[in-house]
């Protein structure tokens, strides 16, 4: 396929196929580095804190949280939505960018999707723990039972159960189907018998047959076609949790697309945070180049600006509607007791990403890293602002209240961060972080050396 010479190469350096295999598999070989152990120790400690907080929650009850009768939903749902949002980038990259034939996705889709799966696991933890009685968590599924009850299909919380479960399962399958050929490569490169047997089992007997490849491509494409609306549906349904209610600041029709856009925004920020470190630590700078970072930054500007427009629209319509409760909800957000959270959100989500309009900033690793952290923070506060400021002062001033998290709640959040990084560090050691076969398939058209040879 012809590629215009003015396009930048996607893969740097003079690579052949074998070199690609070796480069990408290098982080899996040998003993892990000192930094890996340090990261593991830190993440493990954080996960331990989460274990303590879970223990407190389960054995002493939800009373250990800072909730009260006005604010019955705060920290847990904020974290749930934040993690689900982060889980949107992976499938967006591998499904929607596949449909749009963005070849640069091949270097980042594998790790982004692993991140998606881990983030959804972290997200799922919050609804489960907030039930208080973890062992009865299966009550949320519709199954014939002796209580003669069915679940409430009118409830957006139940839609969430279906959406998150489906999203996790389909993403898992999508990720694993893409991983199978690469596991085959790992199997064939394995030196010792046990390693060969394990990867042999996991590779599902992959041979690289052209017939299999052809069908593999077909199902990848159809899975992408299915996953693309699925990504949109998941955060849409999460937004329904709020928007179907009649709470001022929650009930607004723009929520579905605005939440989806915010989710992709925060997901890309997290992918950038991780990959800027990973590409350096794993020596993958030739594969995840500045061009990749720049492309992701462009998506950050796009989604960040959509989120910004949604903020403004909400604010404007709150005034335009003439409904005083709506008007107060938004006034209270910007100038009430939680104004600090609101302005952190505005600064991090609307203002800082706009710096990416400057090419210098969006091609700078340090600037990108800092801004990506800002976006992560901003998007956490966005959910906090939506959840808490709308609840703490609604229709009845007599029941107005304030919310403050307890150490247990903070511990739960830190725990999921620990879980996230632990699993990600394990993933780096166990599977190839870049889709080897996919990179090879674009090497001819977009590799640096090959490209030049082609045009001379």
In the region spanning residues 20 to 59, those forming contacts with other proteins, defined by CB under 8 A, are 21
- Cβ closest to other proteins, residue 61 vs residue 208: 208
Gap between the Cα atoms of 26 and 323, Å rounded: 61
Piece of the chain touching other proteins by CB under 8 A; list 13-21, 79-87, 124-132, 336-344: 13-21
Nearest to other proteins of 107, 422 (CB atom): 107
Please identify which residue in 126, 175, 240, 384 interacts with other proteins, judged by CB under 8 A.
Answer: 240
> Is residue 241 within the footprint of other proteins (CB under 8 A)?
no
What is the Cα gyration radius of the chain? 23
Of the candidates 299, 301, 155, 326, the residue with the CA atom closest to the CA atom of residue 241? 155
Q: Does 252 bind other proteins (CB under 8 A)?
A: yes
Segment contacting other proteins by CB under 8 A, of 107-115, 165-173, 265-273, 370-378: 165-173
Query: How many residues bind to other proteins according to rule CB under 8 A?
Result: 97
Minimum gap (Å) between residue 2 Cβ and other proteins: 4
**Crossing angle of helices 255-281 and 75-86, rounded to 10°:** 70
Best CA proximity match to 179, nearest among 432, 425, 439:
432
**Please, what is the minimum distance in Å from the beta carbon of residue 207 to other proteins?**
5
User: How many Å apart are CA 237 and CA 440, to the nearest integer?
Assistant: 37
Interface positions, 286-315, toward other proteins (CB under 8 A): 305-306, 309-310, 313-314
CA distances to 58, 165, 382 from 128, rounded to whole Å, are 11, 13, 22
Judged by CB under 8 A, which of 37, 55, 201, 358 binds other proteins?
201
Torsion of CA 88, 93, 96, 97, to 10 degrees: 160
- 363 token code pair: 């091609």
Scanning 201-209, 363-371, 400-408, 423-431 for contacts with other proteins by CB under 8 A, the matching segment is 201-209
- From residue 58 to residue 97, what is the string marking binding to other proteins with x (rule CB under 8 A)? ----------------------------------------
For the bound state, the minimum distance from the C-beta of residue 408 to other proteins, rounded and expressed in Å, comes to: 33
The H-assigned helical ranges of 146-192 are 156-189
Minimum distance from residue 63 beta carbon to other proteins (Å): 29
Structural tokens at position 255: 């929520």
Chain positions 360 to 379 lying near other proteins, rule: CB under 8 A, are none
Interface mask toward other proteins for 207-236; x: CB under 8 A? xxxxxxxxxxxxx-xxx--xx-xx-xx--x
Stretch near other proteins under the rule CB under 8 A, chosen from 65-73, 128-136, 171-179, 405-413:
171-179
Q: Is 268 in the site for other proteins (CB under 8 A)?
A: no
Residue 447 pairs in a beta bridge with: 11
Q: Is 198 exposed, middle or buried (0-12, 13-18, 19+ CB in 10 A)?
A: middle
Contacts of 427 (CB under 8 A, 6+ apart): 111, 114, 118, 433
CA-CA-CA-CA torsion for 300, 306, 312, 314, nearest 10 degrees?
Answer: -120
Nearer to other proteins by Cβ, of 83 and 159: the residue is 159
Position of tokens 């939800």?
Answer: 62
Q: Roughly how many angstroms between the first and final C-alpha of the chain, as a whole number?
A: 16
The residue within the footprint of other proteins, chosen from 44, 257, 336, 337 (CB under 8 A), is: 257
Task: Confirm or reject binding of residue 323 to other proteins (CB under 8 A).
Answer: yes
- Binding residues among 128-157 for other proteins as defined by CB under 8 A: 142, 148-150, 152-156
């Amino acid at each position: 396929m012809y590629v215009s010479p003015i396009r930048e190469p996607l893969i740097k350096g003079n690579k052949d196929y074998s070199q690609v295999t070796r480069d990408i598999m290098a982080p899996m070989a040998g003993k892990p580095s000192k930094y890996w152990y340090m990261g593991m120790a830190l993440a493990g400690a954080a996960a331990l804190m989460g274990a303590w907080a879970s223990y407190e929650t389960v054995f002493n009850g939800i009373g250990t949280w800072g909730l009260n009768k006005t604010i019955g939903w705060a920290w847990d749902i904020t974290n749930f939505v934040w993690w689900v949002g982060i889980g949107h980038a992976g499938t967006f990259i591998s499904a929607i960018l596949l449909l749009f034939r963005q070849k640069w996705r091949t270097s980042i889709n594998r790790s982004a999707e692993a991140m998606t799966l881990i983030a959804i696991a972290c997200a799922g933890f919050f609804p489960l723990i907030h039930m208080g009685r973890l062992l009865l968590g299966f009550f949320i599924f519709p199954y014939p039972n002796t209580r003669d009850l069915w679940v409430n299909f009118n409830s957006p919380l139940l839609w969430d159960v279906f959406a998150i479960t489906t999203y996790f399962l389909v993403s898992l399958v999508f990720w694993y189907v893409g991983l199978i050929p690469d596991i085959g490569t790992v199997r064939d490169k394995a030196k010792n018998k046990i390693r060969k047997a394990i990867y042999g089992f996991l590779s599902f007997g992959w041979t690289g047959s052209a017939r299999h490849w052809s069908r593999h491509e077909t199902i990848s494409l159809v899975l992408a076609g299915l996953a693309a609306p699925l990504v949109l549906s998941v955060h849409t349904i999460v937004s329904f949790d709020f928007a179907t209610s009649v709470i001022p600041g929650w009930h607004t029709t723009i929520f579905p697309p605005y939440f989806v856009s915010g989710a992709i925004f925060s997901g890309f920020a997290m992918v950038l945070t991780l990959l800027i470190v990973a590409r350096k630590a794993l020596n993958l700078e030739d594969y995840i180049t500045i061009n990749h970072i720049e492309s992701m930054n462009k998506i950050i500007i796009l989604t960040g600006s959509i989120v910004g427009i949604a903020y403004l629209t909400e604010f404007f319509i709150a005034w335009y509607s003439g409904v005083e409760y709506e008007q107060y909800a938004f006034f209270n957000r910007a100038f009430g007791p939680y104004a600090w959270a609101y302005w952190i959100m505005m600064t991090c989500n609307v203002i800082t990403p706009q710096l990416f309009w400057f090419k210098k900033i969006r091609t700078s690793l340090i600037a990108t890293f800092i801004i990506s952290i800002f976006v992560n923070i901003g998007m956490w506060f966005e959910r906090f602002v939506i959840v808490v400021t709308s609840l703490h002062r609604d229709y009845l001033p007599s029941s107005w209240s304030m919310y403050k998290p307890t150490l247990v709640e903070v511990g739960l959040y830190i725990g999921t961060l620990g879980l996230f990084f632990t699993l990600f560090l394990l993933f780096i050691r166990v599977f190839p972080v870049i889709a080897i076969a996919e990179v090879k398939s674009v090497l001819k058209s977009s590799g640096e050396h090959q490209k030049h040879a082609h045009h001379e």
